[in-house]
């Protein structure tokens, strides 16, 4: 896959799924996500031996509630009265009609913490997640110029076959105005880590549904004409990959969808390829996060000496004895050492509202160390650490935030995210014309950085010859 920009449909296929799939399997960070509840047909097809009794549901509820009470990173629970949550949800759990409703309630309870990382997954959601799969309608939408706009379309989806294209405005879903539906969801569910996370989760819930189910979408073309299409939700792969290209200026370009083990080799190979290019763009737009064990080695490729790259805080103020497969998580994380640096040239990182979790930690570390400039729009602000998944009876899984992350200079990232050094966001016209202003701004910034470095080097050489 080649060619930079958010308009290459093949390259963005996997990143489109982050609203309905956990990007990092409970290992460290994951994208802020909301999976669709299991469908009634899935519920009915479950073998009787796998169905949960009322007693089992109550036991799961109590265990999840206590795990959060005892281990959640914030003892104030983000200002939420956790005892009141217990009193409010206990009778609802007991009154749940089936497992679908039970799992939906457990997910809703986890969402009360206003935390995009703390979530409860049904067995069906976890199964897709472990297989690196997601259920998608084939399109991705975002707020652009105050409207709900299609920003990505899978080429092999029913949406593409029906003629839906990036830049089209969505005006209705299942016969109702989309603004009305979004407002309804956001009134019913508590806000998440940030306004950006809340809106993206709302879109995720709005478009969610079981595989093979259908939805009616009303869209408007650039010329103002409208039409309706039927979209079929399908299961797609969400495995991460690495895309590279060379910009017309000669600068290198790397884009990847998540900090997953599968991309480590490809990213290193890409850096080796671009070792001697004048500048490098790293595109983290739509990168929902991933593993700490992937993030740190990748960051180390940009430094020739030990460098403070991130800080973290736990509920006890002490390092966790185990975190994401690591035996110990220190409160300060360092990367780089002599001989390990692969790329030493100027770097620009692209971020947007879908850049979340470990992609934000990476961008913050590169920004604070002055190793890279940031271009794009404010990132998600969804930056907490999940130490381990907690598997419950019946196969449901609790993922809970136990670590709060900070930049090297001590900036709290949760709720705030990354502020770019230069803010550039595509307009509706840009999408319709397949124009990527962020790529252009990043390329221009690299050319300026390269020219400045040459002038500095020239002055240094002159000074050496004429002391």
* Tens-place pLDDT, residues 240-251: 889 999 999 999
Report the C-alpha gap between 290 and 275 in whole angstroms.
25
Same domain for 62 and 191?
Answer: no
Taking only the tens place, the pLDDT of each residue in 120-150 is: 999 999 998 888 888 899 999 999 999 999 9
Same domain for 309 and 224?
Answer: no
- Label residue 317 exposed, middle or buried (CB < 10 Å: 0-12, 13-18, 19+): exposed
- The per-type count for the chain, helices as H runs and strands as E runs, is 14, 21
Q: How confident is the model at residue 50 (pLDDT cuts 50, 70, 90)?
A: low
Same domain for 256 and 323?
Answer: yes
Report the C-alpha gap between 29 and 383 in whole angstroms.
8
Q: State the greatest distance between any 2 C-alpha atoms of the chain, in Å, as a whole number.
A: 87
Within 10 angstroms of residue 452's Cβ, the number of other Cβ atoms is: 11
Report the C-alpha gap between 240 and 256 in whole angstroms.
7
pLDDT, residue 41, reads 33
Residue 4 forms part of a structural domain: no
Same domain for 123 and 20?
Answer: yes
Same domain for 80 and 108?
Answer: yes
Same domain for 69 and 179?
Answer: no
Same domain for 257 and 224?
Answer: no
Same domain for 175 and 256?
Answer: no
Query: Of all helices (H) and strands (E), which one includes residue 196?
Result: helix 195-207
Domain that holds residue 144: 134-237
CA-CA distances (angstroms) from residue 457 to 344, 345, 412, 467?
A: 15, 13, 36, 15
Taking only the tens place, the pLDDT of each residue in 375-432 is: 999 999 999 999 999 999 999 999 999 999 999 999 999 999 999 999 999 999 999 9
Within 10 angstroms of residue 167's Cβ, the number of other Cβ atoms is: 22
What is the crossing angle of helices 82-95 and 99-111, to 10°? 170
pTM over 0.75: yes
Report the C-alpha gap between 259 and 380 in whole angstroms.
16
Query: Of all helices (H) and strands (E), which one includes residue 67?
Result: helix 54-71
Token pair in block for residue 32: 């802020």
Domain's final residue, options 211, 237, 263: 237
């Amino acid at each position: 896959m080649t060619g930079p920009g958010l308009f290459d449909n093949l390259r963005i296929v996997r990143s489109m799924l982050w609203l309905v799939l956990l990007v990092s399997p409970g290992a460290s960070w994951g994208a802020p996500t909301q999976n669709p509840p299991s469908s009634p047909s899935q519920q009915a097809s479950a073998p009787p031996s796998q169905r949960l009794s009322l007693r089992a549901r109550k036991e799961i509820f109590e265990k999840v509630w206590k795990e959060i009470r005892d281990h959640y990173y914030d003892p104030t629970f983000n200002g939420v009265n956790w005892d009141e949550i217990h009193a409010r949800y206990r009778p609802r759990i007991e009154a749940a009609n089936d497992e679908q409703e039970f799992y939906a309630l457990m997910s809703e309870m986890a969402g009360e913490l206003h935390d995009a990382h703390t979530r409860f997954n049904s067995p069906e959601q976890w199964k897709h997640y472990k297989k690196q799969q997601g259920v998608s309608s084939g399109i991705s939408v975002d707020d652009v110029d105050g409207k709900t706009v299609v920003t990505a379309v899978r080429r092999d989806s029913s949406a593409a076959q029906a003629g839906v294209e990036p830049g089209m405005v969505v005006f209705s879903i299942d016969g109702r105005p989309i603004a009305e539906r979004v407002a309804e969801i956001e009134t019913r569910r508590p806000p998440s880590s940030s306004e950006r996370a809340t809106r993206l989760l709302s879109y995720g819930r709005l478009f969610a549904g079981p595989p093979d189910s259908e939805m009616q979408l009303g869209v408007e073309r650039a010329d103002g004409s409208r039409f309706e299409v039927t979209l079929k939700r399908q299961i797609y792969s969400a495995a991460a990959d690495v895309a590279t290209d060379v910009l017309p200026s000669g600068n290198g370009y790397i884009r990847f969808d998540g900090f997953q083990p599968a991309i480590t080799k490809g990213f290193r190979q890409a850096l080796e390829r671009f070792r001697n290019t004048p500048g490098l763009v790293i595109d983290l737009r739509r990168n929902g996060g991933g593993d700490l064990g992937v993030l740190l080695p990748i960051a180390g490729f940009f430094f020739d000496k030990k460098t403070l790259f991130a800080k973290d805080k736990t509920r006890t103020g002490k390092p966790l004895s185990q975190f994401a497969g690591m035996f110990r998580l220190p409160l300060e994380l360092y990367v780089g050492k002599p001989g390990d640096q692969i790329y030493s040239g100027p770097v620009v990182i692209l971020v947007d509202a879908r850049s979340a979790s470990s992609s934000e930690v990476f961008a913050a570390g590169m920004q604070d160390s002055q190793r890279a400039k940031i271009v794009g729009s404010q990132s998600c602000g969804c930056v907490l650490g999940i130490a381990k998944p907690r598997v419950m009876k019946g196969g449901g899984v609790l993922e809970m935030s136990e670590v709060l992350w900070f930049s090297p200079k001590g900036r709290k990232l949760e709720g705030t995210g990354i502020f770019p050094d230069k803010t550039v966001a595509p307009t509706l016209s840009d999408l319709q014309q397949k124009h990527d202003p962020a790529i252009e701004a990043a390329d221009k910034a690299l050319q300026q950085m390269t020219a400045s470095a040459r002038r500095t080097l020239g002055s240094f050489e002159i000074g050496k010859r004429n002391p």
